[in-house]
């Protein structure tokens, strides 16, 4: 791995060193190409995205990150998701999925974002062909020719230009690269704020991931590997400041009321973090010698925990196509990428948005329909199999690294 700026031309240049950008850099190392990674934070400083929030890794994600040598770098224990329990406050019926019914030990794993960031950093430090520009920020595009794109970045040494045969935007929801490419994005504000915290209850996690829907958003309990729960609680935006001001006792009481008593009494809570929920979807994901990945391409409602899993499948599909091509930035390659990602992207967007709207709708007319839907899902093997396949990341044309490893 190189920290200097001697290599000013790359096969692939990734803007953004978060979850998806770093994962792509690791996947590209297998191709033997020269890659560059533009990161906003300096060496030794973890990007803000690697905080105490809880990431739910689907089975396909676990397969891929294990093949890339990332899961082996995790130092903290992960929390297996052996069953999923879905219900809605005020409605009858529920849906329960058991991994054992599908011949699996777990549907996925819960990983703390900071632990994952440290594992990614440990793996990145082993890559000899990767050039890291940090701290640096994207300024705009420079002059380009038919075979490459040039971008301008600013770092401690001032401004510089770097050229690449393919530029990858992995710089998040408010992507500067997407804006510079002139790619428009549609937005929908759910008028919700999510609170994320680490909580302890009377009963320790037993591998069950709970999703409890309410009028103003979901309350999810994820089984962490440290005998605590990762709690995600959605509130109406206009009440966010009020909820943030609650003392610990009042906050615990609020979660108890929203979730119920399935894990007994909530006893203690760590620090709360907040995130406004806004869906942002790029109208297209490619341009001339450029591609959008992860949140730069689509930022979706976290309901169902699909965001990072979807973004990783973006990155792995791109890396797979690049590994079989002489030129990583041709129009034909980017067209093939768009076609391969279309079904997974469309179905995941529809699933997360539809679930957020239906479960958050307070109309009493929808209550019996929701209840019947939960009962149907709990009693239909075909519907459960469809839900499990999507939850585990097996939608559409699945990247090779996501598939089950050979035994």
DSSP letter for each residue of 79-137: EEE-EEEEEETT----EEEEGGGGT-S-SEEEEEHHHHHHHHHHHHTT-SSEEEE-SEE
164 CB-contact burial (10 Å; exposed 0-12 / middle 13-18 / buried 19+)? buried
3 state SS of 162: strand
Bridge partner residues of 153 (DSSP): 138, 160
Nearest CA to 58 out of 21, 101, 106, 23 is that of 106
Statement: residue 126 has pLDDT above 50: yes
Percent with pLDDT over 90 in the chain: 63
Q: Which residues contact 204 (CB under 8 A, 6 or more apart)?
A: 227
Statement: residue 233 has pLDDT above 80: yes
Statement: residue 392 has pLDDT above 70: no
Provide the angle, in degrees to the nearest 10, between the axes of the packed helices 113-124 and 19-28. Answer: 30
Q: What mean pLDDT, rounded, does the chain reach? A: 86
Statement: residue 389 has pLDDT above 80: no
Structure confidence at residue 300 as a pLDDT band (50, 70, 90): confident
For the chain, give every domain's residue range.
9-74+114-186+283-402
pLDDT tens-digit series, residues 334-348: 999 999 999 989 888
As a whole number, mean pLDDT of residues 43-58 equals: 86
Structure confidence at residue 91 as a pLDDT band (50, 70, 90): low
Nearest CA to 290 out of 145, 142, 148, 129 is that of 148
| In contact, 297 and 222? CB cutoff 8 Å | no
| In contact, 294 and 170? CB cutoff 8 Å | yes
As a whole number, mean pLDDT of residues 351-371 equals: 51
Structure confidence at residue 39 as a pLDDT band (50, 70, 90): very high
Give the CATH number of domain 9-74+114-186+283-402; options: 3.20.20.70, 3.40.50.1110, 3.50.50.60, 1.10.3470.10. Answer: 3.50.50.60
Structure confidence at residue 391 as a pLDDT band (50, 70, 90): low
As a whole number, mean pLDDT of residues 250-275 equals: 95
Structure confidence at residue 382 as a pLDDT band (50, 70, 90): very low
d(CA 134, CA 109): 31
d(CA 114, CA 48): 9
């Amino acid at each position: 791995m190189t920290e200097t700026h001697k290599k000013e031309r790359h096969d692939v240049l990734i803007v953004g060193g978060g979850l998806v950008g770093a994962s792509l850099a690791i996947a590209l190392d297998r191709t033997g190409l020269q890659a560059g990674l533009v990161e906003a934070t300096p060496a030794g400083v973890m990007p803000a995205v690697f905080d105490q929030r809880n990431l739910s890794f689907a089975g396909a994600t676990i397969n891929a990150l294990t093949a890339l040598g990332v899961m082996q770098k995790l130092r903290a224990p992960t929390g297996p998701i052996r069953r999923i329990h879905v219900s809605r406050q005020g409605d009858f019926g529920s849906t329960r999925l058991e991994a054992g019914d599908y011949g699996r030990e777990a549907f996925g794993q819960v990983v703390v974002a900071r632990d994952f960031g440290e594992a990614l950093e440990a793996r990145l430090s082993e890559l000899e062909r990767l050039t890291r520009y940090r701290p640096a920020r994207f300024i705009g595009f420079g002059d380009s020719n038919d075979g490459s794109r040039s971008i301008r970045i600013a770092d401690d040494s001032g401004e510089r230009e770097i050229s690449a045969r393919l530029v990858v935007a992995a710089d998040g929801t408010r992507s500067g690269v997407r804006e510079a490419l002139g790619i428009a994005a549609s937005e929908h504000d759910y008028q919700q704020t999510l609170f994320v915290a680490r909580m302890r209850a009377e009963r320790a996690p037993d591998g069950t991931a709970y999703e409890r829907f309410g009028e103003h958003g979901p309350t999810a309990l994820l089984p962490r590997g440290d005998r605590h729960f990762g709690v995600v609680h959605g509130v109406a935006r206009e009440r966010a400041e009020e909820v943030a001001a609650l003392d610990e006792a009042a906050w615990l009481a609020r979660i108890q009321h929203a979730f119920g008593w399935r894990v007994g009494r909530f006893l203690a809570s760590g620090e709360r973090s907040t995130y406004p929920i806004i869906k942002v979807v790029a109208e297209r994901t490619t341009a001339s010698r450029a591609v959008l990945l992860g949140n730069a391409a689509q930022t979706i409602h976290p309901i169902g925990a699909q965001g990072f899993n979807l973004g990783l499948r973006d990155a792995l599909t791109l890396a797979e196509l690049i590994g079989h091509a002489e030129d990583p930035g041709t129009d034909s390659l980017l067209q093939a990428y768009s076609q391969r990602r279309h079904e997974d992207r469309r179905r995941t967007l529809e699933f997360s948005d539809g679930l957020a709207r239906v479960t958050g709708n307070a109309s009493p007319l929808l209550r019996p329909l929701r209840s019947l839907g939960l009962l149907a899902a709990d009693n239909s093997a075909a519907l459960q199999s469809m839900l499990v396949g999507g939850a585990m990341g097996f939608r559409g044309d699945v990247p090779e690294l996501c598939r089950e490893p050979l035994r």
